[in-house]
Amino acid sequence: MNKPSLSTRLTDPRTLPLLITLGLFLLMFGYGSVAYRGFFSAQVFCNLFIDNAFLLIVAIGMTFVVISGGIDLSVGGLVAVTTMISATLVQSHHWPIWVVTPLVLLLGALFGAFQGVLIQYFRLQPFIVTLGGLFLTRGLCFLINIESITISDPAYTAVSEFRLHLPYADISANVLIAAVVFIGAVWLGHYSEFGRVVYAIGGSERSALLMGLPVARTKVLVYTLSGFCAALGGVTFTFYMLSGYGLHAQGMELDAIAATVIGGTLLTGGVGYVTGTLFGVLILGVIQTLITFDGTLSSWWTRIVIGALLCVFCVLQRLLDSHASKRRTGRAAVGKTVAPAVAAGDATPAELVAHGQ
């Protein structure tokens, strides 16, 4: 089989959305650098990570869910309830940070696993199950406390105010946590058996079952991972805001889905990259930063632009998916035509090459 050329790889429906996302980010950041004084700086770039580290962590968990062919609408509520539990235990009960953090992460993972069991073993739709999870977690927030709880614990304050000094900029502890999660997610998605099974399930769950892959276990683990990432996003959000509130992270589940889709992950499953999700989050951050630097536009323009981009990327995904389906159909037809000639030894070199592809 011939090795695909560079142009073929660049136009591959699996990688083209990622390249478009990368190009869009560079274009938007370049525009801001030209249009606004002070935009092109290391600190402004690092601020994209500082202000969106919690969203990146949540979106990474969402990426695995979407690749598997599912959806998780509960992550925003899980982030909020994590901040409320953390703030209550720290402020009212004076629990130390090293006890509170593992506890809320465990609760988030267990909640995700519970949703995964309902989806897999009771054959319920992910949309309905996780929507119920969103309502449940939001309700729990206000059951704990209807007011915002400010955190004054010295340990939380120290983590919140920590800055790692780089040559031309500073980054927060949340950025370091998000970097570790990102590196782990890349390995998990592309270099582990778990990641390969997730992609196989998203491509065709029936085929994955016929191949003997652990479909049921993997689907439960995918939602467990999403719950863990949402809880960790809640921990970092607590560091960012130094408070717990039931209205925190409103709409974050939609931002996470938007970042995932803009990053090139197909909503139908089977195709996607964690790296694309990273740039999807950065694009959302750049939009907010551009509006801030402009100073004359309403913050609601952020939602308008994100909505427009989401529609464009959904249409692009549909077009690429249709194009890929036509190519697969064409190759199957060529294979049926050339196979008898190949068997008889009468095929031309061009036909043999086509058949080999």
Write out pLDDT tens, residues 282-296: 999 999 999 999 988
Which residue matches tokens 């465990």? Answer: 106
Dihedral sign from CA coordinates of 236, 237, 242, 243: negative
**Between 11 and 87, where is the model more confident?**
87
Distance, in Å, from the CA atom of 125 to the CA atom of 71, rounded to the nearest integer, reads 9
Query: Looking at residue 351, what is its pLDDT?
Result: 47
Distance, in Å, from the CA atom of 323 to the CA atom of 309, rounded to the nearest integer, reads 21
**Between 59 and 335, where is the model more confident?**
59
Q: How confident is the model at residue 333 (pLDDT cuts 50, 70, 90)?
A: low
Distance, in Å, from the CA atom of 275 to the CA atom of 254, rounded to the nearest integer, reads 19
Q: How confident is the model at residue 14 (pLDDT cuts 50, 70, 90)?
A: confident
Q: How confident is the model at residue 319 (pLDDT cuts 50, 70, 90)?
A: confident
Beta-carbon contacts of 308 under 8 Å, excluding residues fewer than 6 positions away, are none
- Strands (E) across 96-173 are located at 149-150, 163-165, 170-172
Q: What is the mean pLDDT of residues 239-256?
A: 96
Q: Tell me the pLDDT tens digit for each residue of 39-94.
A: 999 999 999 999 999 999 999 999 999 999 999 999 999 999 999 999 999 999 99
Which residue matches tokens 């464009």? Answer: 312
Query: Looking at residue 10, what is its pLDDT?
Result: 61
pLDDT at 355 over 50: no
Q: How confident is the model at residue 321 (pLDDT cuts 50, 70, 90)?
A: confident
Q: What is the mean pLDDT of the chain?
A: 90
Q: Tell me the pLDDT tens digit for each residue of 149-191.
A: 999 999 999 999 999 999 999 999 999 999 999 999 999 999 9
Q: What is the mean pLDDT of residues 1-19?
A: 69
Q: Determine how β-strand 243-244 pairs with β-strand 149-150.
A: antiparallel
Q: How confident is the model at residue 337 (pLDDT cuts 50, 70, 90)?
A: low
pLDDT at 335 over 80: no
Query: Looking at residue 5, what is its pLDDT?
Result: 63
Query: Looking at residue 325, what is its pLDDT?
Result: 65
Which H or E run contains 244?
A: strand 243-244
Of 253, 232, 195, 203, which Cα lies nearest the Cα of 77? 253
User: Cα–Cα distances in Å, from 323 out to 158, 273, 329?
Assistant: 53, 20, 10
Query: Looking at residue 342, what is its pLDDT?
Result: 42
Distance, in Å, from the CA atom of 223 to the CA atom of 124, rounded to the nearest integer, reads 14
- Strands (E) across 154-237 are located at 163-165, 170-172
Residue 313 tokens read as 């990327």
pLDDT at 320 over 60: yes
Query: Looking at residue 331, what is its pLDDT?
Result: 53
Q: How confident is the model at residue 312 (pLDDT cuts 50, 70, 90)?
A: very high
Q: Are 290 and 40 in contact (CB under 8 A)?
A: no
Q: Are 263 and 278 in contact (CB under 8 A)?
A: yes
pLDDT at 338 over 90: no
pTM: 0.90
**188, burial (CB in 10 Å: exposed 0-12, middle 13-18, buried 19+):** middle
Please provide residue 15's backbone torsions phi and psi, each rounded to the nearest 5 degrees: -110, -20
Please provide residue 163's backbone torsions phi and psi, each rounded to the nearest 5 degrees: -135, 130
Q: Which residues pair with 353 in a beta bridge?
A: none
Query: Looking at residue 258, what is its pLDDT?
Result: 96
